[in-house]
Amino acid sequence: MQGDTDTANAYLNAANSALKDIQQRLEFQAAQKRIQRRRQEVAAREQRQKAAQAALDQELDEAAAADEESLGKLRAGVESAQFSHQPASSISTFGLENNHSNPDLDRLERQVDSAKFSHEPASAIHP
């Protein structure tokens, strides 16, 4: 009878060991799935961040281009007024887009506004 008990215990221990091994493998597979899911989430977030950065870069490029165009128009207006010996008040800043991406545009716009306010001639402005 002792032999039967020992054999049964050996089978039980082997079954418990196999069960433990299967349980560990299942836990490992579940962990692998969680890791894979997390990697996919991170990749999706990085993709969204890249798209947002690209949109921001494009918006900044467009703003800089608009500022450059406005600077050219303002310089042309100043030069025309200076050539015609007109007052600074004749220089139009209406419709100029200033996204403050170009310090030269900011500076020239301040000069024009100051000269207009002071009723100075256009020749007082130094583009």
The model's pLDDT over 48-63, given as tens digits with 9 standing for 90+, comes to: 999 999 999 999 999 9
What is d(CA 118, CA 84) in angstroms, rounded to the nearest whole number? 19
93 touches 70 (CB < 8 A)? no
Q: How confident is the model at residue 97 (pLDDT cuts 50, 70, 90)?
A: confident
Q: Six-digit token pair at 113?
A: 């506004």
Q: Is the whole-model pTM more than 0.75?
A: no
Q: Six-digit token pair at 14?
A: 């082997």
For 35-93, how does the pLDDT look when each residue is reduced to its tens digit (9 = 90+)?
999 999 999 999 999 999 999 999 999 999 999 999 999 999 999 999 999 999 999 88
What is d(CA 80, CA 82) in angstroms, rounded to the nearest whole number? 5
What is d(CA 105, CA 63) in angstroms, rounded to the nearest whole number? 12
Residues spanned by the domain of 65? 2-124
What is d(CA 26, CA 20) in angstroms, rounded to the nearest whole number? 10
Q: Six-digit token pair at 103?
A: 């310090």
pLDDT over 90, % of the chain: 80
Is pLDDT at 30 greater than 70 in this prediction? Answer: yes
Q: What is the structure's pLDDT at 99? A: 87
Q: How many domains does the chain have?
A: 1
pLDDT, mean of residues 7-31? 95
Q: What is the structure's pLDDT at 1? A: 62
In whole numbers, what is the pLDDT of the chain averaged over residues? Answer: 93
